Amino acid sequence: MRVLALVLACAATWAAAGPPEERFREATAAVRDGDAVAGIRVFRELAAEGVASPSLYWNWAQAAAARGRVGEAMWALLRCRQLEPGDASVRRELDRLRQLVNLSPAELAPQPLAEVGQLARRWQLGWAAILLLALSVGLHATARWLAPGARWPVLGTWVTLGVGVVLALPAGLVPKLTHPQGTVARAGASLYDAASPHAMRLGTLREGEVVPILARSGAYLRVEDSSGARGWALADEVWPLDDLPPAEALR
């Protein structure tokens, strides 16, 4: 009975919240009416529920920019660019914000291999590689037992095996060679010498800069800025490009 009550409660909560399309429209209207905080909060909820829409992150970026949160806006635009790599309007808006906070293009560009890894995840290359490797096994079986005199199964086996290996490289190897990337989402974000509230402050990170995330420890991320300085930053001030910020960061 408790399980049934929990399911009914969850269903009632979802019904009260409304479908994603309706909530997205309401959040956009809230931003348009001047309540950017409420709109962004709903955008994050939708993203956490699996809504991966370029429009969601574009509107999130516009709401953050209206609040003067340039770093947050750049993070949202970079997420939008992952979903729509060729969108010229996203590129222009990123350039505008980059110039606003005086960043060079290099400080905004993730590592090339990291972008390859993001594309591999987006296009599900890992699953494609598995399917091709399975197909190569099937063709090998065909060549050996069902059609031993035919040449095409042998050729197909090697071709599909080669393509599968090529697709498996970015899906499996690239994540091991690169660090996750994050954007400095808050102006004045501090860099500390340890992951502790009592740590010594080493300096300040540049708002909007894309930095590699070297390690995680509780509410802190170990990062390296463009000058080579390493230290710990608060996770609600440096937002990973492959994940959502903590809900408490939307203040």
| DSSP-derived pairing of the beta strands 230-234 and 220-224 | antiparallel
CATH number of 181-249: 2.30.30.40
Q: Single out the residue of 80, 169, 77 nearest to residue 120, CA to CA.
A: 169
Is residue 208's pLDDT more than 60?
yes
Q: Parse the chain into domains and list their residue ranges.
A: 2-100, 115-177, 181-249
Kindly state the tokens that stand for 60.
């999130």
* Spatial distance between the Cα atoms of 157 and 133, rounded to a whole number of angstroms: 9
Residue pointed to by tokens 């560009």: 109
pLDDT of amino acid 248: 82
Residues 54, 56, 60, 62, CA torsion sign: positive
> Matching CATH topology for 2-100 and 181-249?
no
Q: Is 80 exceeded by the pLDDT of residue 177?
A: no
pLDDT of residue 236: 92
pLDDT surpassing 50 at residue 123? no
Distance CA(123)–CA(12), nearest Å, equals 35
**pTM of the complete model beyond 0.75:** no
Q: Is CATH 3.40.10.10 the right assignment for the domain spanning 2-100?
A: no
Rounded Cα–Cα distance for residues 98 and 173 (Å): 31
Distance between CA 214 and CA 216 in Å, rounded? 7
